[in-house]
Structure 1
Amino acid sequence: MGNRYFIITGTSKGIGKQLAELLLKKGDYVYGIARGTADMKEATDRYKHFQYDLGDLSGIDELVSHILKQIPLQEAEFIGLINNAAMLEPLKPIDRCSAEEISLNLNISLAAPMILTSSFIKHTNHLTARRKIVNVSSGSGSYPAPSMASYCTSKAGMNMFTQCIAMEQSGQPNPVEVIAFDPGMVDTELQAVARGKGAEEFALSEVFGQVYNAGQLRSPQDVAKQLIERMEEISDPSEVLHTMEG
């Protein structure tokens, strides 16, 4: 049995942090990328943290190449990339959003995962190990909402991107499996930000508050556990799994 290695974005909090801790508990190796630092409960030499701002697209390929050089690829049985990091803001009508705000959201939530995917596939194409990419999606990618244009558009883009890559990979000798995973509404900082907005700026803040107060948010631990189950399943690379539970 070889080892399993995972590159995960957004490991400093929320779902990304829970994913890293669960995988470390299983004995896997995790390479976390986040703008902030990561304080892992499962502090172990199997976790390495890379502090990097995914808004800076120009250095991503070099970062992925650098991370993969630290992985003993010959021993790898499974190499995964989990594109989890995303940005919720700007949460306001589009005519109040600046070019900088729109650009930053699209870079972090859509362009960065695309470049990470490109680099990951390119730098692992020579391997025989099983490879899998999980793109963390959202119901917002299918259901439009006022004041959430950038976030919804990024997530819709992630869904379409996932399907395109699955098609590209379907004829390859060692295809990369790729799935989009929709965690449902999860109790993370993104939700807290949405609840904290004024109704005049973000019309849905009240709805987010009601969902929270009714105890309908899923825990990041549950979601991380489910994501790992989906990732471990052998999925047909030509089919995208949308997990709509929760």
Structure 2
Amino acid sequence: MPKNTPQHLTILTGASRGMGLAMAEQLLQPGQHLVCISRQLNPRLVSGNGATVEQWQHDLSDAAPVATRLGAWLQQQDGTQWASTTLINNAGTLAQLTPLRDADAADLAHALRVGLEAPMQLTAAFLGATRGWPGLRRVLNISSGLGRRAMAASAGYCAAKAGMDHFTRCVALDEASQPNGAKVCSLAPGIIDTDMQAQLRGADASSFADQGAFAQLHESGQLTSPADAARRLLAYLARADFGKEPVADVRG
């Protein structure tokens, strides 16, 4: 790798499969140092060709220790070496598809911890530890259209994504007043052919009224592949105006 290759640091959650894995693989370019945080390790993610990858195995339903580790690790780094430093909160989970009156309390808590609590804790650790770093600082939160449009039998997931959108708006206001404040965006990626989509179209139609609509999306070929969705998200992240709108949709 040429000595003048810019160095970039990216922390990515939920990188072991689906769209997260696709993003991780596309990020592994010369000069990139990628830290992947997932429940499972993936042997496909290896260092090489001028890129370095670390895999941290953590369950984000208990994110406080992960946030502490991330903050401590970042504080040990030389912030001047990175042209950009980015946190991508991609991990999420779908609670049981059922009306809230029938929901399991532990299942709801798990969905909210992974989908909202963990991104907030990791974002706090990231912003605190990189405060004062001279390079470009960014936070990309992977949201969903369901954070902006209610769907029956999906209160846990919808609430987590709506919360992600709104805490991103708050962080944008916080960072706007800081020297070299971070650019932040909660970005909806469109409809993607992932395990979550399979869960939606395979749900019990008697408790999830939209099951047929999701099945039709798959049957009619309207789902974006994880690789294509990853390319769109990373292209949006690379835009010069990233963060101008704290809540956005990759489809424009």
- TM-score of the superposed pair, with normalisation by structure 1: 0.93
Q: How does 1:1-246 map to 2 (within 5 A)?
A: 1-25=5-29, 27-40=31-44, 44=48, 46-68=52-74, 71-235=77-241, 237=243, 239-245=245-251
Aligned-residue Cα RMSD (Å) equals: 1.9
Cα deviation 1:139-197 (Å, max 9, x = unaligned): 10111011111101111111111111101111110110001111111011111111111
Contact 2:15 2:24 in 1 (8 A): yes
The code of the aligned residue for 1:65 comes to G
Contact 2:45 2:53 in 1 (8 A): no
Q: CA deviation at 1:59?
A: 0.6
Contact 1:18 1:221 in 2 (8 A): yes
- TM-score of the superposed pair, with normalisation by structure 2: 0.91
Q: CA deviation at 1:63?
A: 2.2
Q: How many residue pairs align between the two structures? A: 246
- Distance across 2 between alignment mates of 1:54 and 1:157: 17
**Runs (4+) off by over 6 Å:** none
- Runs of 5+ consecutive residues of structure 2 not aligned to the other structure: none
Q: CA deviation at 1:221?
A: 1.0
Contact 1:9 1:16 in 2 (8 A): yes
Q: In terms of mean alpha carbon deviation, does 213-222 or 36-45 score higher?
A: 36-45
Contact 1:29 1:46 in 2 (8 A): yes
- Distance across 1 between alignment mates of 2:92 and 2:45: 23
- Distance across 1 between alignment mates of 2:220 and 2:54: 37
The code of the aligned residue for 1:195 comes to R
Q: 1:71 to 1:39 in 2, by over 3 A?
A: farther
- Runs of 5+ consecutive residues of structure 1 not aligned to the other structure: none
Contact 2:64 2:121 in 1 (8 A): no
Contact 2:36 2:54 in 1 (8 A): yes
Q: In terms of mean alpha carbon deviation, does 187-196 or 235-244 score higher?
A: 235-244
Q: CA deviation at 1:58?
A: 2.7
Q: How much identity, in percent, do the aligned residues show?
A: 33
The code of the aligned residue for 2:23 comes to L
The code of the aligned residue for 1:129 comes to G
- Distance across 2 between alignment mates of 1:210 and 1:43: 40
Q: CA deviation at 1:236?
A: 6.3
Specify the SS of the correspondent of 1:194.
helix
Q: 1:242 to 1:73 in 2, by over 3 A?
A: same
Specify the SS of the correspondent of 1:161.
helix
Q: CA deviation at 1:77?
A: 0.6
Q: 1:241 to 1:152 in 2, by over 3 A?
A: closer
